[in-house]
Structure 1
Amino acid sequence: MTVTAKDIGKGKAEPGQFEAGQAVPRLEVKGLSRSFAGRAVVQDVALSVAPGQVTCLLGPSGCGKSTTLRMIAGVETTDAGEIWIDGQRMAGPGLHLPPERRGIGMMFQDFALFPHLTVAQNVSFGLSGPSAAKAARVRDLLERVGLASFASKHPHQLSGGEQQRIALARALAPRPQVMLMDEPFSGLDNRLRDGIRDATLEILKEERTAVVLVTHEPDEAMRMADEIALMRGGRIVQSGAPYNIYNAPVDKAAAAFFSDINVIRGTSKGALTQTPFGEFLTPGHADGAPVEIIIRPQHLKIDFDRGGRGPLPTPQDGTAARGRVVRARYLGRESLVEFEMEADGSRLTASVPGVFMPQLGRALWLMIRRDRCFVFPGQR
């Protein structure tokens, strides 16, 4: 169901929440805040999730993402802010609808299947209406999760991946408008996880369910989300599509959350910073201000030493700097090579595809892709 401004006055929405003709988000969260014992756990969180969209709350443990999920579900009260589902206010000043009145499905790490019920009975647990209609819905969902032949089995007879799919079917059975998922794949074997996540995502998209997924794993967020909301200290510090949030991090901590990083420190002067790798443009930083130039290991280029000489400078890669290998590790798809730089003794790590295991102490030249660097204020 899509609610528009035409629905105002019909009991589906309150006036003044959106512009005329504009579709209302399936889920909208405004200024959500929560404190415990005087400590702010969630601060001014805002989200907007459309039908069929997956938004991921990503961040380290204790950043407030699970508390945000519980407030949306209605199992935790809010100190401030509003929660709207399909144009109807579920929580706000003077209002707190219970979970069963919010049209929300929930999936958690432990799946919470009823051990004494069969698979079919578990899936139909939250359904109401004629028995034939309930049975048809159960059959349809079990077919879509590939477990139609498991209807008469009990949860203890299923693998972890099969239990996860049954939990998904049960959560989707009442056709919830919003699905909340709190690290539902964390208990699965790594080899199963990718396939289960892909199958889950496909079904959620087909159902046009708005999904909020909580995870602390950047790879999972990148794989599943249409939009990522990166949380830190109870706040959303950056949100956007996975490509944008990865390639345009708001600060050093955001860049480091998604991958290992190298940090090159310097001082800005005349919008330029001198480094062993040549000059970097650092506009917007005052003269004498410390800056940190961030580059990921996969964007360092390695070249061979030619009698103490390296490759010539280029506009794209700048000036090469020499370092000596202090560690090399083979990880299967790639190798990590750590260098101690001759210019200042700093340590930098490069990742290269395939097998590249240079001897310890070997001199090699490193170059930095200028278009893959991020420049942030440094610390004095």
Structure 2
Amino acid sequence: MTSASPEPMPSRRALPTEAAAPRLEIRNLRRFFDGRAVVDDVSLQIQAGQVTCLLGPSGCGKSTTLRMIAGVEMQDSGEIYVDGKLICDTVFRVPPERREIGLMFQDFALFPHLSVADNVAFGLKGSKDQKRARVEELLHKVSLAQYIDEFPHHLSGGEQQRVALARALAPKPRIMLMDEPFSGLDNRLRDGIRDETLTLLKEEDAAVLLVTHEPEEAMRMADEIALMRSGQIVQQGAPYNVYTRPVDRAAVGFFSDTNILNAEVNGALAETPFGQFLAPGVPDGTEVEIVFRPQHVRIDFDRNGRGPHPTPSDGVAARGVVKRARFLGHESLVEFRMDFDGSVLKATVPNVFLPDAGRVMWLTVRRDRCFVFPAQG
């Protein structure tokens, strides 16, 4: 990824008023620890009502980015805007409490000595009746109105998470920052609570930046995914585009298991035991990796030592021997030891398919689901 050229430091005046001005914009944020860039030239725009997921492995700079936006940590360079107005650069800084930004973390951090109502009302301004009305409105939306006078220790983990969400939304923040908010919940509860949370966030029309290391969570919740690695955003776009048009091998592998074939390009074609793969624009002699996901491998039966006939969509079949097969609940994973080089390739099949170890089968690869990248290393 190439870094954008640094922009001149803007004045503290508002940007030109436009209907499409992003609710949150960060420009070229950088943060160094011990001389190492943990956030390196990160830029993002999020509109009101939009959910963007900052997705990446632990330690890639996601939470540090969130803390800088919230104002609890200072950037070394870069600017942050809300509705077109500068709220922070390296000189000018709006205090965190005046940024109208809501925060929600994996640790719900509810006050144990306060009731559910008082937790949600904490930090609200206005009369007692106004506060109570806002509390009742939000607790009704998260289906916890009946617990309004209970204390947090009487609630389940999922219920506490919804109280924390209501508290974060109570002041009607323009921006909601969420750092791994669902990681403390068990899988049985997680999907339902994520869906409820997403519905409520959309209703409140806040711009949402959600940090997660779980691709499934990002795909489920995001309008846009920003894939982060080593302090930089390496790819950004709608979930479908990020998944189906990855920028490199690591981007493919972050969302799923992968299979990799090594080949050399000659005449814009890469020759492999599965036939030729197109490599347009790649110079002759370039070593490439052909990357494809297990769900895009087709399995066929052995026909007296022969496999299926070649086709333009699936190429040439290659022979393999079943090494292991496992049922995963919604699909089966089958591993093959390939004849051509002894490597192991993985294939997934919907429902139950458990061929015996040692069985000879033939594999083909969908050409429209393969990615060709320069070889790493």
TM normalised by structure 1 equals: 0.95
Matched, 1:270 2:283: no
Post-superposition CA distance 1:121-173 (Å, at most 9, x none)? 00001111111111100110000000001011000000000000000000000
Instruction: Report which stretch shifted further, 18-27 or 250-259.
Output: 18-27
CA deviation after TM superposition for structure 1 residue 89, in Å? 1.0
Aligned to 1:76: 73
- Partners of 2:14 and 2:44 in 1: how far apart? 14
Q: Following the alignment from structure 1 to structure 2, what is the Cα–Cα distance between the partners of residues 131 and 88? A: 32
Give the whole-Å Cα distance in 1 for the aligned partners of 2:88 and 2:368: 45
CA distance 1:90–1:17, change in 2 (3 Å): closer
Output one character per residue of 1:107-134: Cα deviation in whole Å (capped at 9) or x when no partner.
0011110000000000001111111111
In structure 1, the partner of 2:4 is none
- Aligned-residue CA RMSD in angstroms? 1.4
Alignment of 1:56 with 2:53, yes or no, is yes
Q: In 2, Cα distance between the equivalents of 1:134 and 1:23?
A: 32
Paired residue for 1:38? 35
Q: 1:293: which partner in 2? A: 290
After superposition, give the CA deviation of every residue in 1:169-214 in whole Å (9 maximum; x if it has no partner): 0000000000000001000010100000000000000000100000
Which residue matches 1:228? Answer: 225
Contact residue 324 and residue 361 of structure 1 kept, 8 A: yes
Moved more, 89-98 or 319-328: 89-98
Which of 335, 339, 344 is 2:332 aligned to?
A: 335
Give the residue type in structure 1 aligned to 2:339: E
Letter in 2 for 1:180: L
Secondary structure of the residue aligned to 1:95 is coil
CA deviations over 1:218-257 (Å, ceiling 9, x no partner): 0000000101000000000000000000000000000000
What letter corresponds to residue 367 of structure 1 in structure 2?
Answer: T
What is the letter of the counterpart of residue 91 of structure 1?
Answer: C
Letter aligned with residue 282 of structure 1: A
Letter in 1 for 2:228: M
CA shift, 1:95, in A, is: 1.1
Residue aligning to 2:63: 66
Match of 2:109 in 1: 112
CA contact (8 A) 1:116 1:154 kept: yes
- For residue 345 of structure 1, report the CA deviation from its aligned partner: 1.5
3-state SS, counterpart of residue 195 of structure 2: helix
Q: CA deviation at 1:22?
A: 4.2
Partner of 1:153: 150
Q: Is the 8 A contact 1:14 1:88 kept in 2?
A: no
Residue 186 of structure 2 is aligned to residue 189 of structure 1: yes
| Amino acid paired to 1:319 | V
* Aligned residue number for residue 210 of structure 2: 213
Aligned counterparts of 2:269 and 2:15: Cα–Cα separation in 1? 46
2:86 alignment counterpart: 89
- Give matches, 1:250-329, under 5 Å: 250-329=247-326
Describe the SS at the equivalent of 2:257: coil
The answer to whether the 8 A contact 2:27-2:44 is kept is yes
Cα shift readout 1:1-24 (whole Å, capped 9, x = no counterpart): xxxxxxxxxxxx978875664421
Q: Please state whether the residue corresponding to 2:25 is helix, strand or coil.
A: strand
Bigger shift: residues 22-31 or 69-78: 22-31
Corresponding position of 2:6: none
Structure 1 equivalent of residue 341 of structure 2? 344
Structure 2 residue aligned with 1:241: 238
C-alpha distance in 1 between matches for 2:176 and 2:48: 11
SS in 1 for 2:315: coil
Which residue identity lines up with residue 245 of structure 1 in the other structure? V
Which residue of 1 is the match for residue 371 of structure 2?
374
Total equivalences in the alignment: 368
Give the Å deviation of 1:100.
0.1
In structure 1, runs of 5+ residues without a counterpart are: 1-12
Per-residue deviation, 1:87: 1.8
**Percent pairwise identity:** 66
What are the Cα deviations for residues 19-59 of structure 1, in whole angstroms up to 9, with x where unaligned? 66442111000000000111111011001000010011100
Q: Secondary structure at the match of 1:30?
A: strand
Query: What is the SS of the residue equivalent to 1:96?
Result: coil
SS at match of 2:139: helix
- C-alpha separation between the residues in 2 aligned to 1:14 and 1:241? 32
Q: Which amino acid aligns with 1:29?
A: I
Residues 25 and 51 in structure 1, CA contact (< 8 A), matched pair in contact too: yes
- Which residue is equivalent to 1:139? 136
Contact 2:12 2:86 (C-alpha < 8 Å) held by counterparts: no
Whole-angstrom distance in 2 between the partners of 1:307 and 1:18: 72
Letter in 2 for 1:97: V
1:169 equivalent among 153, 157, 166: 166
Structure 1 contact 230–237 (Cα < 8 Å) conserved: yes
The 8 Å contact of residues 80 and 93 in structure 1, kept in 2 or not, is answered as yes
Counterpart Cα distance in 2 of 1:25 and 1:257: 28
Q: Is the contact between residue 239 and residue 245 of structure 1 (CA under 8 Å) also seen in structure 2?
A: yes
Distance 2:292 2:182 in 1: 31
Q: Which ranges in structure 2 are unaligned for 5 or more consecutive residues?
A: 1-9
Counterparts in 2 of 1:95 and 1:21: CA distance versus 1, 3 Å? closer
TM normalised by structure 2 equals 0.95
Secondary structure of the residue aligned to 2:334 is strand
